[in-house]
Amino acid sequence: MRTETAAGAHDMDAYDFTRHISDPVGRTLVDSQPPVIRQSTEADVPAMLEIYGYHIQHGLGPFDIEPLHPEELKRRRKAMLKRRLPHLVADLDGAIAGYAYAAPFRKRPAYRYTVEHSIYVHRDFQGRGIGRGLLSALVDACTAAGCRQMVAVVDSANTPSLRLHEACGFNQAGVLRSVGFKFGRWTDSVFLQRALGPADGALPDDHRGGTVLAGD
């Protein structure tokens, strides 16, 4: 998973959901109603596909180069929900301003308490704190789900996303140099990590054995 708060994001305006709209006579109004961060539904899939498709074409967050099929996005969403992991959207008066989700960090069972997340913000809602709201909600949801570590993978050129994660308690854990090639150039991936809940200060409930779910 990749984290792409914006292709040229300015999403460091923490919780600044103010937006300007026009009334029927053309006057500029300010609407400060914050978006509702909620669980995604299948009805949100077309909007999420549009957001993701834009970032495929213009961003370095997703390393996909072809549009995602609707059924594949539905499959991924169901897989996350099956594991009781969050798959969220930012709903602003019925418009999906962004979406985010957490997935198992790796497929091996020993990684089961670590998740990796992705955040994608609609191009028309960048710079309004949408990414900050989604990331905060993801942290809370993953903590409540019993996760102990949260990982983000961010392109090294995406300074706003790096700053956002650091402001939300993530620390840089390492850099993989020139591991991606997109838009005619090599790209570096920065790994960021944040501890959740008791982290490694307490053993998990199933440390004496039992059945666990591997990643998908």
The pLDDT assigned to 56 comes to: 81
Give the pLDDT score at 180: 87
| CATH numeric code, 28-200 | 3.40.630.30
Taking alpha carbons only, the member of 46, 47, 63, 43 closest to residue 55 is: 63
Which run of H or E residues covers position 193? strand 185-195
161, 131 contact by CB (below 8 A): yes
Residue tagged 């998740």 (tokens): 115
Question: Do residues 112 and 213 make contact, with C-beta atoms less than 8 angstroms apart?
Answer: yes
Tens of pLDDT along the chain (216 residues) come to 455 554 333 332 333 333 333 333 332 333 557 899 999 999 999 999 999 998 888 766 666 667 788 999 999 999 999 999 999 999 999 999 999 999 999 999 999 999 999 999 999 999 899 999 999 999 999 999 999 999 999 999 999 999 999 999 999 999 999 998 888 889 999 999 999 999 999 999 886 554 445 444
